Amino acid sequence: MYTGKVFKYGNNIDTDVIIPARYLNAPSPEELAKHCMEDIDIDFASTVKEGDIIVGGANFGCGSSREHAPIAIRACGVRCVIAANFARIFYRNAINIGFPILECPEASEAIQNGDTVSVDFDSGLIKDETTGQTFQAVAFPPFINRIIENDGLLPYLKARMDAEEGK
Amino acid sequence: MGMTMTQKILAAHAGLPSVKAGDLIEAKLDLVLGNDVTTPVAVGVFDKIGFTRVFDKDKIAIVLDHYTPCKDIKSAQLCATARNFAKRFNITHFYDVGQVGIEHALLPEKGIVGPGELIIGADSHTCTYGALGAFSTGVGSTDMAAGMAAGENWFKVPPAIKVELTGKLKPYVSGKDVILHLIGMIGVDGALYKSLEFVGEGVKELSMDDRFTIANMAIEAGGKNGIFPVDEKTLEYIKGRVNRPYNVYEADPDAEYEREVVIDLSTLEPTVSLPHLPSNTKTVSEVKGMKIDQVVIGSCTNGRISDMRIAAEILKGRKVADGVRCIVIPATQQVYMDCLKEGIAEIFIESGCAFSTPTCGPCLGGHMGCMCEGERAVSTTNRNFVGRMGHTKSEVVLASPAVAAASAVLGYLGAPSDL
């Protein structure tokens, strides 16, 4: 169970907004984090705190395949992203780095900027502590849970390949 | 229940008799692709996790196309990281400056991708190869690393939208106008997670280059992939390029589609996407006259030889208007060479265009044509998001090569018929 303050954004938050292409040659997640969301919310990177939550509308993370987008968001300290739905490459990238994201159109609609929200990843339950409303997100299928539990796709594959080779 | 063309390719690569939309599967990969922006990130995680080998050095492509020839020191470092990795594992399909072309034009041209294959690429426009009847989709750098190590990856089987094409395109209307029109119809999330399956009598009227352009921008409608049936034109294209066995898949007659869209090609007009979303489409006649500062003709969407030919046809004997910078970038060395041989390069240069070696460059505001505040470009690229080609207060209008070339001459947004 995690609790954090919400930064709320609209529909079609694209990867050029999450991390502009002009910073793609930055050397580290920390450097990327400094520029996260700056083209639509110049204060985001300086005010976001460890454990905070981003709530987006529909098609969150559309655009380029850059994995820098979820990396930048996580490096800011954000614990998870809740959205009505995600662009599929962003969805993939987030899961592949072991960064939890939840699809919940009702929560995306009702939760307001600045609300305090609790999220239970096991059950997919989202609670807006500010308004008392609760929402049920689409729970992860078991396959994806295994990847997230392993902290991402690569550790999951490495463990499996090592096991197959009898290491 | 029947399967779509995409579902059949996925099932075959997962070793399953059938799959349905929503299934999570692990499937074998025929090719894993990365570029100079995404490969270094993949290499970083590949090494960090401690993989010591790649699954098949012949089934990995590393193409240094985005910021090359390197625009700055950081880009040079990224290229060095990718180059060293390619050398370390003796990667067969490694393309550096001098051989490199824009990945999604280069791979089909070299026959590195073929019908029925399953390709992932750490670049969102990897969906281009659907034009050849392959399943190909853009992924992230972690997926690329996983694919290079294991030769397989996980997929969520997509539902499909059937796009039935009828009729025949009018002169100066192209594949770009078809895909912009479709994105305008269904929106930037209209095909979210889904495959766009192009079918119908109209398909055979489309050139391979038109099909590449259409499949290329499936992602701009949110699509997982875009795919065309394999026909005589496909087979003609791959002849002499794909020198290995390949499989031709067809959708079952009872395949299930979430939605069906019909486009009569003969009704389409030159179409553009206004800032700042590809779905913000208008016909050129509706928005003619917008002031422009720059024209870009090139990219993985429209940097192929037929794109160069149509632009040259329009620019021949004419001049780029005062106050407009026209930048023409053929997508591959072969296209560049063809432009030289056919006298097209001369036409571009005489008309006052900058004519460059292959690079993604301006499409993503990388180099070779960034814009400052208040400027506007007509561009044959694929995205017009805020800040895509430079300053966040610059604007990109997406268009076909014909419209871009005509606009360069006019000095404002316009169609060939306005000349």
Residue-level pLDDT at A2 = 84
Residue-level pLDDT at A25 = 82
Is any Cβ of chain A less than 8 angstroms from the Cβ of B382? no
Is any Cβ of chain B less than 8 angstroms from the Cβ of A62? yes
Residue-level pLDDT at A67 = 80
Contacts with A152 from chain B: Cβ below 8 Å: 142
The tens place of each residue's pLDDT in chain B, 419 residues long, gives 899 999 999 999 999 999 999 787 889 999 999 999 999 999 999 999 999 999 999 999 999 999 999 999 999 999 999 999 999 999 999 999 999 999 999 999 999 999 999 999 999 999 999 999 999 999 988 899 999 999 999 898 999 999 999 999 999 999 999 999 999 999 998 998 899 999 999 999 999 999 999 999 999 999 999 999 999 999 999 999 999 999 999 999 999 999 999 999 999 999 999 999 999 999 999 999 999 999 999 999 999 999 999 999 999 999 999 999 999 999 999 999 999 999 999 999 999 999 999 999 999 999 999 999 999 999 999 999 999 999 999 999 999 999 999 999 999 999 999 99
User: Whole-angstrom Cα distance, residue B404 to residue A134?
Assistant: 51
B188 to A62: CB separation less than 8 angstroms, yes or no: yes
First to last CA, chain B: 53
B123 to A93: CB separation less than 8 angstroms, yes or no: no
| pLDDT, greater one: A64 or B353 | B353
| Best of A11, A17, A85, A88 to mutate (most B CBs within 10 Å, chain B) | A88
Side by side, the strands of the sheet bearing B259-264 are B225-227, B195-199, B160-166, B259-264
Residue-level pLDDT at A143 = 72
**CA nearest B325: which of B305, B363, B297, B346?**
B297
Coil, strand or helix: which one is B172?
coil
Scanning B60-79 for CB atoms below 8 A from A yields 67, 72, 74-75, 78
User: Whole-angstrom Cα distance, residue B22 to residue B6?
Assistant: 13
DSSP A43-78: THHHH--TT-EEEE-SSBTBS---THHHHHHHHTT-
Is any Cβ of chain B less than 8 angstroms from the Cβ of A42? no
Measure A131 CA to nearest chain B CA, in Å. Answer: 30
Report residue A69 as tokens: 């987008």
**CA nearest B200: which of B260, B134, B144, B119?**
B260
Is any Cβ of chain A less than 8 angstroms from the Cβ of B123? yes
**What is the β-pairing status of strands A116-120 and B259-264?**
unpaired
Residue-level pLDDT at B211 = 98
Is any Cβ of chain B less than 8 angstroms from the Cβ of A39? yes
**For residues A66-75, average pLDDT:** 90
Side by side, the strands of the sheet bearing B31-35 are B93-95, B60-63, B31-35, B118-121, B135-138
Residue-level pLDDT at B359 = 98
**For residues A44-68, average pLDDT:** 91
Measure A22 CA to nearest chain B CA, in Å. Answer: 7
Indicate if the pLDDT at residue A24 is higher than 90: no
pLDDT category of residue A167 using cuts at 50, 70 and 90: low
Scanning B103-122 for CB atoms below 8 A from A yields 122
> Taking the mean position of all CA atoms in its chain, how far away is CA B179?
11
**CA nearest A2: which of A130, A117, A95?**
A117
User: Whole-angstrom Cα distance, residue A26 to residue B346?
Assistant: 39
